[in-house]
Amino acid sequence: MNVRCNYCRQSFNLSRDYLVEAIAKADEKRQKYHTVECINCRKAIKVSVPQMKRYAPALPAEDEAEAES
Ligand SMILES: [Zn+2]
């Protein structure tokens, strides 16, 4: 899943494994947003949990061929 920093416009990719873990933590805390640190400027970027779920469904997927950017 591609994320763009609001501060420096750096865009970077979050892996499926990362998303699955982040979604689990967000669900546990009932958060609507997950915070990631920008790889460039290190500011906190909010990523919406529903959006992450679209990229990494709760059930583990066997194929990763259909990844959309
Ligand atoms: Zn940044």
61 CA distance to ligand 1 middle (Å): 30
Residue 57: predicted pLDDT = 80
pTM for this prediction: 0.75
- Domain residues for the domain of 33 are 2-55
**Residue 12 contacts by C-beta under 8 Å, 6 or more apart in sequence?**
2, 3, 5, 38, 39, 40
Q: Is residue 18 part of a domain?
A: yes
Q: Is residue 66 part of a domain?
A: no
* pLDDT tens per residue across span 38-51: 999 999 999 999 99
Q: Quote the number of domains for the chain.
A: 1
14 CA distance to ligand 1 middle (Å): 14
Q: Is residue 22 part of a domain?
A: yes
Residue 19: predicted pLDDT = 95
34 CA distance to ligand 1 middle (Å): 16
37 CA distance to ligand 1 middle (Å): 8
Q: Is residue 67 part of a domain?
A: no
27 CA distance to ligand 1 middle (Å): 25
